[in-house]
A = this chain, B = another copy of it.
């Protein structure tokens, strides 16, 4: 009985904590870290100061945990894509397509994730920058290792796996950032095809349409891209 109760309570606590986190994420994404006052979060989450400090030690920690969670989310998305790559190593293009596609789909559904990871967390302080840099290097490393492997197999042609990884990751960020900054209702995934095309070509991968109409790209935008059709 007591167990049941405390379990329920625990669930409510967890729910409330998550509610605060979600509210905070929205505000951080909208206003940036410093312009987000604790009071703004309280208002958005409709809670009291006391509650806030019951669930979180301070504003900074909350932000960091949100940020960490987002980096983790993205890293695991990437890991998923990679794991699939290893499974069917025959089609590199498809694998890369998947990685990009999944990335965009993730950020599309979690716009706050995108904003906080790519905008709100930038340039906060020398200390936080160290953390952020390390995290982005971690992400970059994921691509770097893949590229290194592909380089050895000579399926991609790039002068430097590391730089390629930086550029590949950067290209994804660019598109997301661009999408975040448009105030149109365009879907992020609509950028999938040109983004993938750009990168595949950049990596020197020969690919045909069948790769690009991969199952990871939502059907309705498949036909948007007729790139390479005229290539011999």
Binding site for B on A (CB under 8 A): 30-35, 119-126, 129, 133, 136-137, 140, 157-160, 163-164, 166-167, 169-171, 173-175, 177-178, 181, 191, 193-195, 197-199, 201-204, 225-228, 231
Whether B122 and A159, one on each chain, are in contact in the complex, defined by CB atoms closer than 8 angstroms, is no
Q: Please tell me how many copies of the chain the complex holds.
A: 4
Give A183 Cβ to nearest chain B Cβ, in Å.
9
Whether A181 and B133, one on each chain, are in contact in the complex, defined by CB atoms closer than 8 angstroms, is yes
Whether B123 and A33, one on each chain, are in contact in the complex, defined by CB atoms closer than 8 angstroms, is yes
Of listed A121, A163, A195, A203, residue having the most chain B CB within 10 A: A163
Which residue of B122, B174, B204 is within 8 Å of A119 (Cβ)?
Answer: B122
Of listed A119, A124, A126, A177, residue having the most chain B CB within 10 A: A124
Chain B residue, CB-CB nearest to A178: B166
Q: Bound state CA distance, A71 and B193, in angstroms?
A: 30
Chain B residue, CB-CB nearest to A137: B181
Whether A124 and B163, one on each chain, are in contact in the complex, defined by CB atoms closer than 8 angstroms, is no
Q: Using known A-B contacts A122-B119, A157-B228, determine if residue A167 contacts B195 with beta carbons closer than 8 Å.
A: yes
Q: Bound state CA distance, A195 and B158, in angstroms?
A: 10
Which residue of B133, B194, B203 is within 8 Å of A159 (Cβ)?
Answer: B194
Q: Bound state CA distance, A35 and B20, in angstroms?
A: 26
Whether B34 and A124, one on each chain, are in contact in the complex, defined by CB atoms closer than 8 angstroms, is yes
Whether A231 and B126, one on each chain, are in contact in the complex, defined by CB atoms closer than 8 angstroms, is no
Q: Using known A-B contacts A122-B123, A123-B120, determine if residue A174 contacts B166 with beta carbons closer than 8 Å.
A: yes
Known: A34-B34, A163-B195, A173-B174. 6 other contacts (CB 8 A): A30-B126, A35-B124, A120-B123, A158-B198, A160-B194, A174-B174
Whether B158 and A197, one on each chain, are in contact in the complex, defined by CB atoms closer than 8 angstroms, is yes
A170 — which chain B residues lie within 8 A by C-beta? 170-171, 173-175, 177-178
Chain B residue, CB-CB nearest to A227: B159
